[in-house]
Structure 1
Amino acid sequence: MNQQNVTQVQAPTRHFSVLLSPTPRGARLARLLAVAWMRDHDVPYGVTESATQVVAELAANAATHGRVAGRSFRLVLQRRRDTLRIEVTDTRGEDLPRIQPACPGGDSGRGLLLVEALADRWGVEPGPAPRKTVWAELDLPRP
């Protein structure tokens, strides 16, 4: 009986990381940079639309709720063979995000509900102090 060694080839991970100011302008820049990066790395259009909204929500949360004067937030995008991972790290590790019931007349409070609806998985990783990372993953269609 012959046995053949089969080497499984994994597609390389494509990675992007940037520090941005925790301001509305920084959050807007996060969204614009993410769109450009996804376009350059052939992320399918439907995933790009959802991912753009996820980046916008997570970056806005970092600029609003994770803001500490003089400390930036980090946006990371990783494209693996079948997953796009979005990470936003801020320096308010003591303030972990959680989904709250939306107030019908309120102007805010729906961001994480939107992230939950658009992402296939999402979560929060505390640390190292004083940081936390909110991440979301979107499955990519198989060719």
Structure 2
Amino acid sequence: MNEKSRLRVQLSATRRGARLARLLTERQLDEWGMPFEAATQVVAELAANAVLHGRVPGRDFRLELRREDDGTLRVEVTDARGERRPRVPDESAELTDGGRGLRIVAAYADRWGVVEAPAGAKTVWAELKQPFLTGIGPEEIVHRADQTVPGPLQC
């Protein structure tokens, strides 16, 4: 993999930084000639989680996109709160206002997970193989997520 197959950027852990992560992803994938709808949705959810749940005052979050040789896109979002592991809400939480982001990530991604990062941080990653899913509605996202999410992850 060469540098032209990778984007790595530090962004402020703010709503503006999360929005910028999504926009940068869209532009980078367009430049690479890759479909961007599904990937920008995954980045939007992971960046929003980094800002809402992984924020430490004075520390940024990092976005990394890598285009692998086989066409797979790997998305990594690293935030400062390694002790706050993402979790998929249980079925009884369906009516709450939040908690759907990881279900959306699971619906679009072929694989995703969490690993420790240096300095007490964590990296949430997702891999999308081409062709990326596009043109599916919210009902289909929930249906696919229910089939792919293994169950609640604990923080």
Shared fold per TM-score greater than 0.5: yes
Matched, 1:134 2:120: no
In structure 2, the partner of 1:116 is: 106
In structure 2, the partner of 1:94 is: 83
Number of residues paired by the alignment?
A: 128
TM-score by length of 2: 0.78
What is the CA distance between 1:100 and its match in structure 2? 1.4
- 2:37 is matched by which residue type in structure 1? E
SS at match of 2:98: coil
| CA distance in structure 2 between the aligned counterparts of 1:80 and 1:12, rounded to whole angstroms | 10
Note if contact 1:121-1:137 (Cα within 8 Å) is conserved in structure 2: yes
- 2:90 is matched by which residue type in structure 1? P
TM-score by length of 1: 0.84
What is the CA distance between 1:12 and its match in structure 2? 4.6
In our comparison, the structure showing a higher alpha carbon Rg is 1
Note if contact 2:78-2:117 (Cα within 8 Å) is conserved in structure 1: no
| CA distance in structure 1 between the aligned counterparts of 2:61 and 2:108, rounded to whole angstroms | 22
Matched, 1:62 2:53: no
Stretch of structure 1 that moved more, 64-73 or 11-20: 11-20
Q: Which ranges of structure 2 fall in alignment gaps of 5 or more residues?
A: 132-155
Note if contact 1:101-1:109 (Cα within 8 Å) is conserved in structure 2: no
SS at match of 1:34: helix
SS at match of 1:76: strand
Q: How does 1:1-143 map to 2 (within 5 A)?
A: 12=2, 14-43=5-34, 45=35, 48-81=36-69, 82-101=71-90, 103-141=93-131
Q: Percent identity?
A: 56
Q: In angstroms, what is the RMSD of aligned CA positions?
A: 1.4
What is the CA distance between 1:140 and its match in structure 2? 1.7
Q: Which ranges of structure 1 fall in alignment gaps of 5 or more residues?
A: 1-10
Structure holding more helix per residue: 2
What is the CA distance between 1:127 and its match in structure 2? 2.5
Stretch of structure 1 that moved more, 26-35 or 98-107: 98-107
